[in-house]
Amino acid sequence: MLRERFQIQRSTPAETPGGTAAPPPPLALRTPPPMPVVLPPALALVKEQVHRQLVAEIDLDQLARLNPEQARTEVRGSITEILGTYPMQGTGDLRLALIEEILDEVLGLGPLEPLLRDDEVSEIMVNAPDQIWVERGGRIQRVAHQFRDEGHLLRVIERIVAPLGRRVDEASPMADARLLDGSRINVVVPPASPTGAKITLRKFARHRLRADDLVRFGTLSEASVTFLRACVAAELNVLVSGGTGTGKTTLLNVLSSFISEDERIVTIEDPLELQLQQPHVVALEARPPGIEGTRQITQRDLVRNALRMRPDRVIVGEVRGGEAFDMLQAMNTGHDGSISTVHANTPRDALSRVENMVLMAGLDLPDHAIREQIASAIQLIVQISRLPDGSRRVTHITEVAGMESQTITLQDLFTLETSGTDEEGRIIGALVPTGLQPQFTDRFQRTGVPFPAEVLRTDRW
């Protein structure tokens, strides 16, 4: 139904003439209240009957040619007409809730639809038909929305993965997918999940955050933004490190915005999430194997191919495996200014993760040689974390200073200093310089970018 919105993509999103992925159109849909109206059993039965009748009568081909708002208007009219034949249809809020729920069943993902339209919700987690959790403002909370039963949940999962040409069953119980609006979905069914099907949906941010937004949120400081802007302009290789859901992709988007518009940028992702605004961007996306286990495109394949596409910058959305070796090779052979992310909780852990992923490439390299490659390839690590109050903060901006014996040496240039919590439980803190001077100032001289030494002075704070 409504392929324009809910069909899973088989290829990259439509591109603008400049080459960047076009942002999704705004949805002119009414946002329902956070607490849904619970239909009484009699109306729930009416809902199922009207839904079946509507699906039997509606012209799906004609509906697919309409945009989401037009389709919703058309279907709402049909629902109202069919409801007129039922003696028990509810009044006021109940009737409105009945119509909205039928609309969501026909055109979307059922009880998940109101949450998809709620801009305050960033993540949706379905643990059971009657257990749906969301993240709002960094806090996880349970909501009243629910599926009718396990069969209803499985039908929605099928609606998600079927257009991709994939199936989720006992033989293949896990799948990743993406809605056309960019939202990322992971589904798990038995036997991988013995207690029933699970959905984890990370919503695509409709509004692209900028550096000023991160300063306002407290994620970065003005001084650190000035420093990072200069580092990106001077073509330092930057690794963004953080745990799951800490905001690595958002931070990567902000760092990439500091790249000049006259550079050719090749992005490699699995799946596509970046929202680069430069005019010369080429987006590449990995592809999982199909039902037959063939047609897979790995990130390592894409990294190798990207180096043949004359990139000025290579941005890898997240390094996960053997492509780490190819990325390091690129950084060490003239492709300066590359940026990537990695799952790790500290800058030191980030380097260990990269080292382990290089070993995944299957190359018989000694540990010392791998560490030398890492130390010469990466100049800066930006560590971001989600704090206990739900806020996302950059906790370290760390230089990779070189090698001492068998160890890669690091020095912190900025660290997060905290001083307790306020009356609302929010952590009070600021990202401040340590006073240390980096060893990569020659990069600034070579690229002609002024080195912002003043923002590293501790006497300013």
Determine the pLDDT at residue 107.
83
Tell me the sheet residues that pair with 398: 381, 412
Helix (H, G, I), strand (E, B) or coil at 365: coil
The pLDDT tens digits for 86-140 are 776 556 778 888 888 888 888 889 999 999 989 889 999 999 999 999 999 888 9
Determine the pLDDT at residue 89.
59
Q: What is the mean pLDDT of residues 146-156?
A: 92
Determine the pLDDT at residue 27.
35
Q: What is the DSSP letter of 210?
A: -
pLDDT band at 360 (very low <50, low <70, confident <90, very high): confident
User: How far is C-alpha 264 from the chain's CA centre?
Assistant: 23
What's the token pair of residue 444? Answer: 């600034």
> Could you tell me the pTM of the whole model?
0.78
Q: What is the mean pLDDT of the chain?
A: 85
CATH number of this structure's domain 211-460: 3.40.50.300
What's the token pair of residue 345? Answer: 């909780």
- pLDDT beyond 90 at 20: no
The pLDDT tens digits for 242-294 are 998 899 999 999 999 999 999 999 999 987 888 888 999 999 998 877 666 67
Q: Strand order in 198-202's β-sheet?
A: 139-143, 131-136, 121-128, 198-202, 184-188, 174-178
Q: Which of 64, 95, 70 is nearest to 80 (CA)?
A: 95
Determine the pLDDT at residue 12.
36
Query: Residue 228 to residues 232, 350, 461: CA-CA distances in angstroms?
Result: 6, 19, 18
Q: What is the mean pLDDT of residues 231-236?
A: 97
Q: Which of 284, 408, 396, 423 is nearest to 355 (CA)?
A: 408
Q: What is the percentage of the chain residues whose pLDDT exceeds 90?
A: 52
Q: What is the mean pLDDT of residues 47-64?
A: 79
- pLDDT beyond 70 at 460: no
Q: What is the DSSP letter of 425?
A: S
- pLDDT beyond 50 at 455: yes
Answer with the residue of higher pLDDT: 19 or 190.
190
Determine the pLDDT at residue 181.
79
CATH fold of 10-27+114-206, please? Beta-Lactamase (3.30.450)
Residue 273, judged by CB atoms within 10 A of its CB (0-12, 13-18, 19+), counts as buried
- pLDDT beyond 50 at 9: no
Answer with the residue of higher pLDDT: 7 or 53.
53
- Following CA atoms 335, 337, 342, 345 in sequence, which dihedral angle do they give, to the nearest 10 degrees? 140
The pLDDT tens digits for 306-325 are 989 999 999 999 998 989 99
Determine the pLDDT at residue 37.
67
Whole-number Å distance between alpha carbons of 221 and 82: 57
Determine the pLDDT at residue 342.
96
Q: What is the mean pLDDT of residues 341-367?
A: 93
